[in-house]
Amino acid sequence: MLDLLHRPRRLRRTPALRTMVRQTSLQARNLIYPLFVHEGARNESIGSMPGCQRWCLDALGDEVGRAWDLGIRCVVLFPKVADGLKSEDGAECFNEGGLIPRAIRRLKAEHPAMAIMTDVALDPYSSDGHDGIVSPEGVVLNDETVEILCQQALAQARAGADLIGPSDMMDGRVEAIRTCLDDEGFTDVGIISYTAKYSSAYYGPFRDALDSAPRASTGKPIPSNKNTYQMDPANSSEAITEAQLDEDEGADILMVKPGLAYLDIVAKLKENSHLPIAAYNVSGEFAMVKAAAERGWIDERQVVLETLLCFRRAGADLILTYHAPDGAAWLQEG
Ligand code: PBG
């Protein structure tokens, strides 16, 4: 017999004891469900994101209704924009008759209680595949881009969005969008800011889904990555700088992205801010789980529920995840 005073295993002995001392919980209301939409008449599957679709507007409402019944209370919409509508300044992003405003209006009519979040950035609408306007010299322009982002946010708010999500990483965009929304009377529309968004290879499948990767289509030099605006994965305290700026500029929720490799940043923001913290379990993280599960190398259900719980443990109040409906269904099964 070891002469031990402390035996931490005592509190792990039975399910009842383990439940009593469990520190973190995961519920469907913690999940935000990202959905891709397109103009087509049918849903299209996405090769690198098994189980995800580009939803046609006719089928979108039923999927959102299903999510609601599973306990999910927020969806975020991403558009696959036809090539013919893309331009260098991405002006389609503020077309009030465009895909996203129409999708929002329809969902608000069919499921008025579901919170709708949007993404604000030019990449799905940009013929250059960047989140901002690219100058003839190949520089992603900050202030000129922010003006367009404000128009985009306004079009989304007019359609009925509850939460505007700037994902572009231009400086000063949160304050500019807040002011613009307020001036137009949308004082109650919130901003969930992609505060610490890193320049990451984990976004690959998302860019496939929207066909939105940076590309050179004109003679203009187009940067092949987003390193001049998205953050360097090597940096940590810079996330606090971004968080302080977004708080000061009027953000309601702060987000970290990607998620799994950046849980230290989630924890840091949680410690340094009293705002709700969100984390984005991005497309590449989803694809890795799906690929391994398809091969029978991991148990998908257990890995997903563990992963989502760990986001909560790190400090995420909210998790954007493509696993949302499966996760919520598994939580309901208990
Ligand atoms: C657009 C945007 C991206 C994602 C969300 N909004 C891609 C990017 O910045 O290149 C990625 C989401 C994911 O990978 O799941 N600015």
Per-residue pLDDT reduced to its tens digit, 180-237 = 999 999 999 999 999 999 999 999 999 999 888 998 877 889 999 999 999 999 999 9
81 neighbors 124 (Cβ within 8 angstroms): yes
Task: For 108-142, write each residue's pLDDT tens digit.
Answer: 999 999 999 999 999 999 999 999 999 999 999 99
In DSSP terms, which residues pair with 192 in a beta bridge?
Answer: 253
- The letter for the amino acid at 106 is R
pLDDT of residue 268: 98
Closest of 117, 127, 128, 201 to residue 167, by C-alpha: 117
Q: Please give the average per-residue pLDDT across 231-259, as a whole number.
A: 98
In DSSP terms, which residues pair with 254 in a beta bridge?
Answer: 193, 277
Query: What's the CA gap between 75 and 92, in Å, rounded?
Result: 22
257 included as an active-site residue: yes
Closest of 233, 332, 223 to residue 282, by C-alpha: 233
Query: What's the CA gap between 290 and 326, in Å, rounded?
Result: 12
**Is any ligand 1 atom within 6 A of the Cβ of residue 123?**
yes
**Is any ligand 1 atom within 6 A of the Cβ of residue 200?**
no
When pLDDT is cut at 50, 70 and 90, the band that residue 243 belongs to is: very high
Neighbours of 127 (CB within 10 A): 20
Q: Please give the distance, rounded to the nearest whole angstrom, from the Cα atom of residue 159 to the centre of ligand 1.
A: 22
Share of the chain above pLDDT 70, in %: 100
**Is any ligand 1 atom within 6 A of the Cβ of residue 282?**
yes
* 293 alpha carbon, distance to own chain's centre: 23
**Is any ligand 1 atom within 6 A of the Cβ of residue 167?**
yes
* Annotated active-site residue in 86, 226, 257, 268: 257
Ligand 1 probe mutation, 125, 126, 133, 203, most atoms within 8 A of CB:
203
- Which protein residue has the closest C-alpha to ligand 1 atom 5? 167
Q: Which two tokens stand for residue 83?
A: 């090539």
Query: Three-state SS across 105-146?
Result: HHHHHHCCCCEEEEEECCHHHECCCCCCEECCCCCEEHHHHH
Burial (0-12, 13-18, 19+ Cβ within 10 Å), 311: buried
**Is any ligand 1 atom within 6 A of the Cβ of residue 118?**
no
Query: What's the CA gap between 189 and 99, in Å, rounded?
Result: 20
E strand residue ranges, 61-204: 74-79, 115-120, 133-134, 140-141, 163-166, 190-197
| 316 pLDDT above the threshold of 90 | yes
Q: Please give the distance, rounded to the nearest whole angstrom, from the Cα atom of residue 167 to the centre of ligand 1.
A: 7
pLDDT of residue 334: 81
- Which protein residue has the closest C-alpha to ligand 1 atom 6? 167
C-alpha pair distances (Å), 52 with each of 42, 169, 306, 319: 13, 26, 21, 17
Phi first, then psi: what are they for 154, rounded to 5°? -65, -45
C-alpha pair distances (Å), 324 with each of 66, 165, 208, 315: 11, 18, 20, 18
Query: Three-state SS across 250-279?
Result: CCCEEEEECCHHHHHHHHHHHHHCCCCEEE
Contacts for 248 with CB less than 8 Å, ≥ 6 apart: 175
Determine the number of helices (DSSP H) and then strands (DSSP E) in the chain: 11, 12
pLDDT of residue 78: 98
Pairing of strands 53-56, 44-45: antiparallel
Q: Which domains, ranges and CATH numbers included, belong to the chain? A: 26-333 (3.20.20.70)
